[in-house]
Amino acid sequence: MGSITGIVVIIIGILASVALHEVGHMLPAKKFGVLVPDYAVGFGPALWKKKIGDTTYALRAILVGGYVKIVGMYAPARPGTRLVGRRGKVTLAQEAREASAEEIPQGQEHRAFYLLSAPKKITVMLCGPLMNLLICFVLSAVTMVGIGAPAASRTIASVSATIQTSEGEIASPAYEAGVRPGDTVLAWNGTPIETFAQFQRAVGATPEGESAVLTVGRDGTTVDLTVTPVTGARGARYVGVTAGYEYVSASLTDVLQADWQMFTGTASVIVRLPQAVWQVGRSVVTDEQRDATGVVSVVGVGRMAGEVTGDSAALGLRDTRQVVGALLSLLASLNMALFVFNLIPLPPLDGGHILGAVYEGVRRQVASLRGKEDPGPADTARLVPLTWAVGGVLIVMSFILIVADIVKPISLS
């Protein structure tokens, strides 16, 4: 496989992840009766589109993401709200309210998003990130349970003719004893051997100069061979064989533990994201080394995928099965990053909308408990200036990471 293969796979994987993220928003919104007029993969001119029910589904030319249009995101201004700024211009918040109102077709006003209860709003906004979490779990399960991890097997892959010791090069004990590639280690001095690691420990525990009976499986029969381990140049005990490998599947419990570790690791990176991006930017304009475990953009992820398929041997990936597992692991970690990142409680991220819905729910509940009039939907349009500010910061951070991944990329090797 060449580098292009990995890059193409990761691009398709990212598009699918974003598309399913938007599906996560769309399905509960439609379930709750909200009007969802558009769902698209990509931006720009439509290559294909079809209207089903109220929603037009489209595949667009610029495949850099996707979106779902949910009408009526912002509630109308409450009486007494300032609609015009100091210079006589309509405020950004009011512009957002008006644009939101214009999206709603006549006679469909009851299907606006802002009319949903707070729990339903939270559900709609949370299901997008939860879709990425689900994708992460599925990919992790396929990788760890379906593909498995390579582990040394009891089958002998090769037998060295000689071994280097502190006294020089000598004949390999296994070679002299008649061990052959393809033999399966069954027992050492009568003790059954279940793993190659157990075999290594048994060899290491054999006293200097003593021989042992190695029982191997060969062509459907068992063969007993007398082997005398020697001490290699590094002080360890050897017989001169190399293990083959086999794939061992993990349990779903292992998958959950691995995903939890991925979550906590990703969350710790997100918490210090501004500092991490600053360090990346500084490394670009100075001779400072870039942190090999630091943050990367989608360009960096693509480069890593290219390494996986283009230089798999240098990364210690033995076969196509391991390469596929590595690519799926990259996509799993990317989806975990999308899950955690989108939960940041700032607009325009999903976490910002969730926080607004939580505020609305708490405010309405407090008013109910105090016997006061329902205050109605929260005026989240007032956060539009913050939305623009956060969006600008995210664009700058993305630009820094993309430039860094081009001029000073992180290499898996």
Would you please indicate which residues are annotated as catalytic (active-site) residues?
A: 22
CA dist 196 and 242 (Å) reads 10
Beta strands in 317-392 (DSSP E): none
Structure-token pair, residue 47: 């290559």
CB 191 within 8 Å of CB 152: no
DSSP code string of 38-98: EEEEEEEEEEEEEEETTEEEEEEEEEEEEEEE-S--SPPPPTT---B-TTSPBPHHHHHHH
What contacts 173, CB < 8 A, 6 or more positions away? 163, 227, 228, 229, 230, 238, 239, 240
Torsion sign (Cα): 87, 88, 93, 98: negative
Nearest to 162 by CA among 144, 174, 177, 154: 174
